[in-house]
Structure 1
Amino acid sequence: MEQDLISKKDLLELTGISYGQLYRWKRKQLIPEQWFIRKSTFTGQETFFPRQLILSRIEKIVDRKEDFSLDEVAEMLSATPYDYEISKAALIERNIVSKEALRYWASKDAEDVVYPFDRILFFGLADRLLQTGDMSADEGEMVLDMLSRDYRKWGDHPCDLLFIRKMGISIAALLPADSGFYLDQGAKLVARISIQAEVEQLKGKLF
């Protein structure tokens, strides 16, 4: 599945930032090195970025750079806040996870239960597939179990969630971000989600 990219030229025009700002933010580690993707085009080598990630990141930088130093902004944006916690009631109140998803997968949890960041992330990933109709509640339970077991094994390496179905049997898998893959004949890729993009979006909702 081809990743949605935006060229450097289009990015600068769309956001109004300068070439100098972009590369200063790169040097300050506000924008990850791996987001600068070199690709061959008919005019030669050009730089592209993951559209969703870079636009979200630039919006956050612009919003915060007047109140914080670039080093402070870099620290805010780079860390995955695994020590962050939020209650079930607050998730519903702030519309971070749907009531329907929590009814399926957290009905036995008390209203004052507190969830860590990665559990919130897993709920959000499963909720997204549920709301689009790509996944049933039972399949969501399987996805949540897999993420709980395997996600932390990736450490800081970005990965994607794949949801695959063949002859009524569903499979969830994690693989390196933007890597290629091949499916068995008759298997269908139902969804591929960038977990890094979901982390960025969740951080935006929480902080």
Structure 2
Amino acid sequence: MKKAMVKTGLATVMMFGAVLGHGGVTNAEAVPASSKTQTVMTDNLFKYGLKKDVELPVTVTAGGLSYTLEKIMIFDSKSKDAQALIKKYGYTGTESAKYFIWTKITVENKSGNTVQKSYEDLKEKWVLNFGGDYSAYVTMPLTTVNVANYKPNNNEALWSWSLKPGQKLSTYQAHLYNEDFKEFYVSVNNKGNQNFVEIVKATDK
């Protein structure tokens, strides 16, 4: 089944610490849902009618960039949990968003060149897709961006990032989404190489 990149358009922080744990196409790695006993809450996808075919974490690698989705929580953007994070990190654009999505991720550069998402390269390298006409899109955390001597690779609330060969980053990232949940796959696109892994296969709804 082919997938294409689609358009991209503390509860407290302590709670999230407990829940989230504060060339060619390459391989995608995932653990079948039926073969792993889930002892720690890694997601709330079931709340939105999404039944996992594989358990988290899942890793997708393309063009030497490895992206691992460790955990994901979906919230109504006006909920108490979402608003706690939005206010803490100063996330923008949330007023018109239906859903606020909070992820824990690890990114590793296994290529021989620097990989980045910054003013030098604005292209998003990974995308969360839920079956809508538009994918979830990353939102800016102003409290980590608008600071003196700003540096990329923030490990609390990611915005811009830059990884040299062999460098790894574990962090948290927020996305916004406005459509229905019909499936869930993560796609990575780097240096002309693209790969994806299906976490929830498409349904007919």
Q: TM above 0.5, one fold?
A: no
Higher strand share: 2
Q: Which has the larger radius of gyration?
A: 1
Higher helix share: 1
Q: Give the TM-score normalised by the residue count of structure 1.
A: 0.29
Higher relative contact order (CA 8 A, sep 6+): 2
